[in-house]
Amino acid sequence: MTQRESFTELLGHLATNSAAMVHDEIELAIQGVREKVRAVRSGVLTVAAGAAIGFAALMSLCAALIIGLTAYMAPVTAALVTGAALAFIGVVIGFIGFKQLKKSILKT
Q: Give per-residue pLDDT as tens, 35-72.
A: 888 888 888 889 999 999 999 999 999 999 999 999 99
- Give the chain's length: 108
- pTM listed for this prediction: 0.56
**Please, are residues 80 and 87 in contact by the beta-carbon 8 Å criterion?**
no
Say if residue 103's pLDDT is above 90.
no
Q: Tell me which residue of 58, 104, 108 sits closest to 85, measured CA to CA.
A: 58
- Could you list the residue range(s) of the whole structural domain that residue 81 is in? 2-107
Count of structural domains within the chain: 1
